[in-house]
Structure 1
């Protein structure tokens, strides 16, 4: 169609492998090694070869972890990527330990009051939330905000306050009666601040305010709310205003592995998902591509790529596409496009009375952005490190 981007997907993995091999042959500096490794691991991740991506990252960690004092940011980025990759593989212990290693690495070469240390501490709060430790996550955000306030780090304080507001807003998606009031207080407290440096975080807080209101506003009233939202200028990222949780409820009949949506299902933090009996989680990933129109509605949501063992109809993948299809973004001057990776996995846990590891019967749905044009969540993170 005229005016549409054409995306050509090819194998870049051999090129990245050669670049890394050349770097290692020249005994390049640790930060160069890590940069080449992250590029390779990102390509392997996007190709769905998760084990290969993790192997690349672990090899780089063995080579470079000891250089945290000299290269704290690079080593911290490597640990962060390890944490993200472990999450997609369902390796909860490694996901958690790598999140802790990220903080340790940045502290090794930075002063305690350096903003980058605080950023990694906030990421650790995110790891608490992903592990379902919501109270611990909220307490960590609050502690960071208080300390940043004392040190005059206004932007760090704003980010911590925004994370707390985001956490409560996402929990309100699952239990509006219990968490909506906490979310509203957190949002209003941030919006009420007067420091100019907090303005970007207040913009995001107003987005959360809309998300909170949209949880109980459907049909024509939601259309009116969206229509009143300021139109996004050309070049600005798409701004998410309404996104229902991806509700997965098991409805197995024999080996059909069929899922049906349920308003009471919980997806955002994977708490409360129904137990399942999957033979294997290998290759259970999809990329969902979609167009966001000028009116903020989604069109052409479809699975652009997928793992070898994904059932595209009547299973979890279909429910993901369905949930994305009904999202609403702010009106914008021109259409934009998005692409997201979803991995259906389950944590590896110790079997009672044995040293063997097995998959937890409660699954996880892990998400990563593959396109920078969309702004789906203030807390979304990807394998690629933040600058």
Structure 2
């Protein structure tokens, strides 16, 4: 559990500096196109047989609106339909076809389809290879996403193997930034393992030392990240540590460098998850907004939008944990309220096949999915339908 928790912190650590307008009213402002408009654009494109690149973009836009509206199954169906129609254009539009697979992987994870999500992540890599060289930075970064998917599934050694293979390939081809991403991901993962298992401590120290000793200019951001990584490990490793200790770490000048340092672990037993109503196909989710103040503390946590299937006891608990987060302190103007952030939390029951059967059912053990939606929200509320 500790490994996955820390990896979640690493994967969603950078805060967007965007902030909402505050004009004193409840104006609805959303950057996403309304669901009705995206559906009509998608259907019109199909009806007139528009070019494949325009069709794929229309399909992704419609699926994105469906996702924001909480209709994960239809979003999956839309992306899958677009893939069936356009997979043959992988050599011509490798990035767009790969984007369909990447989007389908993310939506499928929210829809409780982890095996399909992994398949789509792998397909995104193979698609890119059809139109790009295997040593292309875009291909390698997508391979890292495959490792991320392994890490989220708890397959630590498989994820580490992918990260290190990408790092070696990036070094051979002179791709310093890609190599940095790969080595830092591995250091995060192994350090998290070391925080709960002493057998990994030597390996973790080596992973950190490898980055710290690398003088390649492309590695500079990752060397800087080691301080924040150490802070996260220390705060997670010491159950009795004071979360406010995060404020003692060096302030950062740019809001773009702000990182999540600490959040208490999600306690399933206290959350009432066994009483969750999300066992059917309709997931429970909520979009939660909050401010990150310049001192790294979180303030004004509030729910912006929820699923029709109202979230159960897990949501109040999650809100409390978000309020206890600590981020990197950052420089800001004296009158700055800080950074505005919106995240979606969904309680997902995966489709599983019980032993001795050939039928998939929803697991009784849920998991929490998270996605950053900060760039979508700019007003007091949001409407996408």
- TM-score normalised to the size of structure 2? 0.82
Q: How does 1:97-116 map to 2 (within 5 A)?
A: 97-116=119-138
Rounded Cα–Cα distance in structure 2 between residues aligned with 1:311 and 1:77: 30
Q: Is the 8 A contact 2:249 2:328 kept in 1?
A: no
Q: Measure how far apart 1:331 and its partner are.
A: 1.9
- Encode CA deviations 1:327-362: one digit per residue, 9 max, x unaligned: 111223131111111111122122333321112232
Q: 2:360: which partner in 1?
A: 357
Q: 1:282: which partner in 2?
A: 282
Q: 1:239: which partner in 2?
A: 259
Q: Measure how far apart 1:24 and its partner are.
A: 3.0
Q: 1:94: which partner in 2?
A: 116
Q: 1:207: which partner in 2?
A: 228
Q: Is the 8 A contact 1:238 1:336 kept in 2?
A: no
Q: 2:303: which partner in 1?
A: 303
Distance 1:178 1:35, change over 3 A: farther
Rounded Cα–Cα distance in structure 1 between residues aligned with 2:305 and 2:201: 36
Q: Is the 8 A contact 1:187 1:208 kept in 2?
A: no
Alignment partner of 1:75 is 2:97: yes
Q: 1:265: which partner in 2?
A: none
SS in 2 for 1:361: coil
Rounded Cα–Cα distance in structure 2 between residues aligned with 1:3 and 1:77: 31
Q: Measure how far apart 1:183 and its partner are.
A: 3.9
Residue-pair matches, total: 349
Q: Measure how far apart 1:281 and its partner are.
A: 5.3
Q: 2:216: which partner in 1?
A: 195
Q: 1:327: which partner in 2?
A: 325
Structure 1, 282-291 or 182-191: larger mean CA deviation: 182-191
Q: Is the 8 A contact 1:169 1:180 kept in 2?
A: yes
CA RMSD in angstroms, aligned pairs only: 2.8
Q: Is the 8 A contact 1:338 1:373 kept in 2?
A: no
- TM-score normalised to the size of structure 1? 0.81
Q: Is the 8 A contact 2:274 2:364 kept in 1?
A: no
The partner residue of 1:4 within 17, 22, 36 is 22
Q: Is the 8 A contact 2:283 2:348 kept in 1?
A: no
SS in 2 for 1:236: helix
The partner residue of 1:369 within 366, 372, 376 is 372
Q: Is the 8 A contact 2:86 2:97 kept in 1?
A: yes
Greater relative CO, 1 or 2 (CA 8 Å, sep 6+)? 2
Q: 2:46: which partner in 1?
A: 24
Q: 1:291: which partner in 2?
A: 291
- Encode CA deviations 1:29-73: one digit per residue, 9 max, x unaligned: 322222221121111111111122112111111111111111111
Alignment partner of 1:149 is 2:163: no
Q: 2:182: which partner in 1?
A: 160
Q: Is the 8 A contact 2:288 2:342 kept in 1?
A: yes
Q: Measure how far apart 1:370 and its partner are.
A: 0.6
Rounded Cα–Cα distance in structure 1 between residues aligned with 2:40 and 2:277: 40
Rounded Cα–Cα distance in structure 2 between residues aligned with 1:293 and 1:164: 30
Structure 1, 202-211 or 326-335: larger mean CA deviation: 202-211
Q: Which runs of 5+ in 1 are unaligned?
A: 259-275, 375-387
Greater share of helix residues, 1 or 2? 2
Rounded Cα–Cα distance in structure 1 between residues aligned with 2:246 and 2:277: 41
Structure 1, 330-339 or 10-19: larger mean CA deviation: 10-19
Q: Is the 8 A contact 1:242 1:328 kept in 2?
A: yes
Distance 1:243 1:176, change over 3 A: farther
Q: Is the 8 A contact 1:250 1:257 kept in 2?
A: no
Q: Which runs of 5+ in 2 are unaligned?
A: 1-19, 378-385
Q: Is the 8 A contact 1:290 1:301 kept in 2?
A: yes
Q: Is the 8 A contact 1:187 1:206 kept in 2?
A: no
Q: Measure how far apart 1:168 and its partner are.
A: 2.8
Q: Is the 8 A contact 1:125 1:138 kept in 2?
A: yes
Q: Is the 8 A contact 2:111 2:283 kept in 1?
A: no
- Encode CA deviations 1:250-271: one digit per residue, 9 max, x unaligned: 676xxx946xxxxxxxxxxxxx
